[in-house]
């Protein structure tokens, strides 16, 4: 029997990050285990995404991620194997926390959109589930 924690899309939260407004510009801070609910071990960003293209299309077994639209906007579709929800990110002081075992797809990128991703672990190909049917089987394990 597998003892992994099962998360649903209801466990994925939109989080408001601290926004410091000044006459000379705004500052938003994302700190591990404070405003971001995990230690940050990797940071990467997506940009120059051609119109109509999608990113993501996978799930992680252990990795948690925190998505921020630092410029422009995009949609994140989250799926727990039973339910799906689309969340639009379009403010640089708002992030989406995605738990392990949740399928994610990113689409509808605006021109100039930049997606910043904070990750709880270093890159590990073995943590990915890249085929949707395999994800469905994974999400159903131990649910009987």
Positions marked active-site: 58
Q: Which residues pair with 58 in a beta bridge?
A: 104
Is 21 exposed, middle or buried (CB count within 10 Å of its CB: 0-12, 13-18, 19+)? exposed
Whole-number Å distance between alpha carbons of 115 and 47 = 7
CA distances from 92 to 6, 9, 41, 70 (A): 29, 22, 21, 4
């Amino acid at each position: 029997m597998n003892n992994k924690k099962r998360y649903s899309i209801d466990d994925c939260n939109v989080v408001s990050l601290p926004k410091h407004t000044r006459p000379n510009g705004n500052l938003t801070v994302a700190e591990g285990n404070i405003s971001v609910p995990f230690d940050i071990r990797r940071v990467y960003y997506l940009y120059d995404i051609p119109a109509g293209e999608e990113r993501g299309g996978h799930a992680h077994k252990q990795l948690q991620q925190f998505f921020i639209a630092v410029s422009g906007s995009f949609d994140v579709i989250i799926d727990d194997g039973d339910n799906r929800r689309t969340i639009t990110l379009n403010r640089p002081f708002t992030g989406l926390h995605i738990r392990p075992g949740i399928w994610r797809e990113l689409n509808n990128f605006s021109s100039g959109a930049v997606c910043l991703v904070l990750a709880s672990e270093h890159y590990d190909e073995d943590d990915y589930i890249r085929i949707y049917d395999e994800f469905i089987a994974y999400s159903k394990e131990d649910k009987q």
